[in-house]
Amino acid sequence: MEYKTNINFRKESLIKLLNAIIIYENEIIQALYDDFKKPAFEAVLTETSYVIAELKNTIKNLKNWAKPKRVFPSLLNFPSKDYIYKEPYGKVLILAPWNYPFQLSLCPLISAVAAGNQVVVKPSELTPKTSEIIVKIIGKVFDNNHVKVVEGGAEISQQLLSERWDYIFFTGSVAVGKIVAKAAAENLTPVTLELGGKNPCIIDETANLKLAAKRIVWGKFVNAGQTCIAPDFILIQKNMKTHFVTYLKEEITKAYGENPAKSPDFARIINTKNWQRLVDMIEPEKVIFGGQSDSSDCYIAPTLVEETSVESIIMQEEIFGPLLPILTYENEADIDAIITKYEKPLALYIFTENPYFYRRIIQNYSFGGGCINDTLIHFANKRLPFGGVGHSGIGAYHGNLSFDTFSHTKSIVKKANWLDLPMRYAPYKDRLPNIRKILRWL
Ligand code: NAD
C-alpha cells in the first residue's frame, strides 16, 4: 500500500514508466501500425509524445498537487485553520477504447497512479498488438497488486464491472457508457464517462475558406476519421459551398495524393465490422469526392458527401470514419434546427472572422469543447479541461484536473481550543436577534 501513502513512491513509479515508454517507443509505434496502420507520425504526435508529456507534467507537479491546501477559514468557525486534503479513491477501473489505444489507456492510468490509487486497466480487444505492449510495459514497471492490465472484450469488461470499484473511468461509445453508468450505480461508484457524439463544424460567410479546408481535412482524416472529437459534419453558408468543396478536394489530394490507399499517412478502419458500418452509410449518388473502399484492407478513402437531409443514414449516428457530409444553411434558424436535433456533442467547431457569430454559437449551444478557426487542438492544452456534457460524457480530465479526477477532496477544519465562543450552544435563550444580526453581517 506504499502507493497510497508515499508520494515519492508514486513519483518514482511514474519515472520508471516514463523510462520504459521511451525505451519501448518504437515497439509501441509498430504495434499501432500493426493494429490499424496508424502512421508513425500520428502515433508519435497523438499517442507516445502525448503520454510522455503527460508523464513529465505529472512527475513535475505531483508533490504540489498532492499537498493539503490551506484555505481561508469561515469566520463562523473562528478560531480555526481549514484544509483541503486529496485522498486516493482506492481501487480504480479504467476501460479504454481502440481509436487512440495507447494514449487513452495510459493517460488516465498515469493520473490514477499519481493520485495514489490501485489500478486495473482494460485496453480494447480490437487493438491486440497495442494491448500486448501495454501489458509488457506495465508488467515491468508496476507490481501486480498496484497496477494490472486485464485483456479481453465486452464479457471481461462486464465481469470487471460487476466487481466493486471506488472509481470507474470509461472512454468509449455512448451505448457502452450507459452500461458502465448502470453498473456503477449499483455501488454508487463515481464515474468519468468520456463518450462521443456528432460534432458540428460550422462555417460562415466571413471564414477564411482555404485555411478552414486545410485544418478541417487534417482534423477529419487524421486516424482515418476515427477520432472522438473529429468534425462529424460540415454546416456551411449556402453561397460558400462550391468554393469550399473545391478547397477541400485540393487539400485532401495534397495530404494523401491521388490515391490515398497508397499514402503512408492514412490509417485504416479498425475492423471489417466498422468498415461495413461505414460503407453502409455511403449513398453513392451523394458522393462528390472519394468513396472508394476495399474490405480486404479495411480501407475507405477520404470521402466528401453532399447532404441535404438530416434524415439520411449518415446523419443518424456518430460517423467515426473518413466520411464527411456537407450540409448548407441560409440563416441561423437553419443552424439551430440541425444542431438541436442531436444530443449535446463532444466538440463543436466554428470557422468565422465574425466574433458576434462565434460568441452566439458558444452561448446558444451546449457541447464538450471546441475551437474557433481550427479543429481538435483544444485537446492539446493541458490547462483546458477535456470532457463531454449530456450524452457526450460526464466529468473532465487533463493536466491537474486528471489528478483531481482520481482524488477524493476531503475538507478538514482544525478548530483551536484556546477560545470557545458560547453563542451556538443550547439553551439559546434570547440570543436569536443577535445571531440573526451576526449571520446577516457575515
Ligand atoms: P466501445 O464503447 O465499444 O468500447 C470501449 C470499451 O468498452 C472497450 O474496452 C470495450 O471492450 C468495452 N466494451 C465494449 N462493449 C461492452 C459492453 N457491452 N459491456 C461492457 N464493456 C464493453 O467504444 P470503442 O468502439 O472502443 O470506441 C469508439 C467510441 O469511443 C466512439 O463513440 C468515440 O467517440 C468514443 N471515444 C471517446 C473519447 C473521449 O475522450 N470522449 C475518446 C475516444 C473514443
Give the pLDDT confidence of 12-66 residue by residue, as tens digits: 999 999 999 999 999 999 999 999 999 999 999 999 999 999 999 999 999 999 9
Say whether both 191 and 214 belong to one domain. no
Q: How many residues does the chain have?
A: 442
Q: Is 32 in the pocket of ligand 1 (CB under 6 A)?
A: no
Distance (Å, whole) CA 273 – CA 294: 13
441: in domain? no
442: in domain? no
Q: Indicate the pLDDT class of residue 406, thresholds 50, 70 and 90.
A: very high
Say whether both 37 and 172 belong to one domain. yes
Q: What percent of the chain has pLDDT over 70?
A: 100
Q: Mutual orientation of helices 49-66 and 7-23 as an angle, nearest 10°?
A: 170
Within 8 A by CB and 6+ apart from 234, the residues are 201, 203, 216, 244, 324, 325, 326, 327
Q: Which of 112, 5, 96 is nearest to 58 (CA)?
A: 112
Taking a C-beta distance cutoff of 8 angstroms, is the pair 237, 328 a contact? yes
Say whether both 159 and 227 belong to one domain. no
Say whether both 341 and 402 belong to one domain. no
Domain count along the chain: 2
Please identify, by atom number, the ligand 1 atom nearest to the C-alpha of residue 123.
Answer: 9
pLDDT tens-digit series, residues 132-161: 999 999 999 999 999 999 999 999 999 999
Say whether both 309 and 184 belong to one domain. no
414: in domain? no
Tell me the best of 124, 150, 162, 226 to mutate to test the pocket of ligand 1, counting ligand atoms within 8 Å of each CB and taking the most: 124
Say whether both 291 and 398 belong to one domain. no
Tell me the best of 111, 228, 275, 391 to mutate to test the pocket of ligand 1, counting ligand atoms within 8 Å of each CB and taking the most: 228
Q: What are phi and psi of 254, to 5 degrees?
A: -60, -40
A 10 A CB-CB count for 10 gives 25
Residue 228 annotated as catalytic:
yes
Q: Indicate the pLDDT class of residue 354, thresholds 50, 70 and 90.
A: very high
Residues β-bridged to residue 51: none
160: in domain? yes
Flag whether pLDDT at 5 surpasses 90: no
Residue 298 annotated as catalytic:
no
Tell me the CATH number at 157.
Answer: 3.40.605.10
421: in domain? no
416: in domain? no
Please identify, by atom number, the ligand 1 atom nearest to the C-alpha of residue 228.
Answer: 34
Distance (Å, whole) CA 347 – CA 201: 9
Supply the pLDDT for residue 371: 98
Flag whether pLDDT at 1 surpasses 80: no
Q: Tell me how far the alpha carbon of residue 176 lies from the centroid of ligand 1, in angstroms.
A: 6
Say whether both 256 and 353 belong to one domain. yes
Say whether both 176 and 160 belong to one domain. yes
DSSP classification of residue 397: B
Q: Is 68 in the pocket of ligand 1 (CB under 6 A)?
A: no
CB-side exposure of 107: number of CA atoms within 13 Å? 31
Supply the pLDDT for residue 41: 98
Q: Tell me how far the alpha carbon of residue 65 lies from the centroid of ligand 1, in angstroms.
A: 30
Chain Cα centroid distance, residue 258: 33
Say whether both 246 and 174 belong to one domain. no
420: in domain? no
Q: Tell me how far the alpha carbon of residue 195 lies from the centroid of ligand 1, in angstroms.
A: 8
Q: At which residue does the C-alpha cell 448548407 appear?
A: 328
Query: What is the mean pLDDT of the segment spanning 363-376?
Result: 98
Taking a C-beta distance cutoff of 8 angstroms, is the pair 36, 267 a contact? yes
Tell me the CATH number at 232.
Answer: 3.40.309.10
Within 8 A by CB and 6+ apart from 3, the residues are 9, 10, 13, 113, 116, 117, 118, 146
Tell me the best of 171, 271, 320, 343 to mutate to test the pocket of ligand 1, counting ligand atoms within 8 Å of each CB and taking the most: 171
Q: Is 99 in the pocket of ligand 1 (CB under 6 A)?
A: yes
Task: Compute, in degrees rounded to 10, the torsion defined by CA atoms 47, 52, 55, 57.
Answer: -110
Say whether both 170 and 45 belong to one domain. yes
Supply the pLDDT for residue 267: 97
Q: Is 122 in the pocket of ligand 1 (CB under 6 A)?
A: yes
Taking a C-beta distance cutoff of 8 angstroms, is the pair 261, 250 a contact? no
- Please pick, among 201, 228, 298, 371, the residue that the annotation labels catalytic: 228
Say whether both 248 and 174 belong to one domain. no
Say whether both 397 and 360 belong to one domain. no
Q: Which of 210, 221, 225, 200 is nearest to 326 (CA)?
A: 200
- Please pick, among 42, 47, 194, 318, the residue that the annotation labels catalytic: 194
Q: Is 124 in the pocket of ligand 1 (CB under 6 A)?
A: yes
Whether residue 231 has a cis bond before it, omega within 30° of 0: no
9: in domain? yes
Domain coverage including residue 180: 2-195+390-409
Q: Tell me how far the alpha carbon of residue 114 lies from the centroid of ligand 1, in angstroms.
A: 24
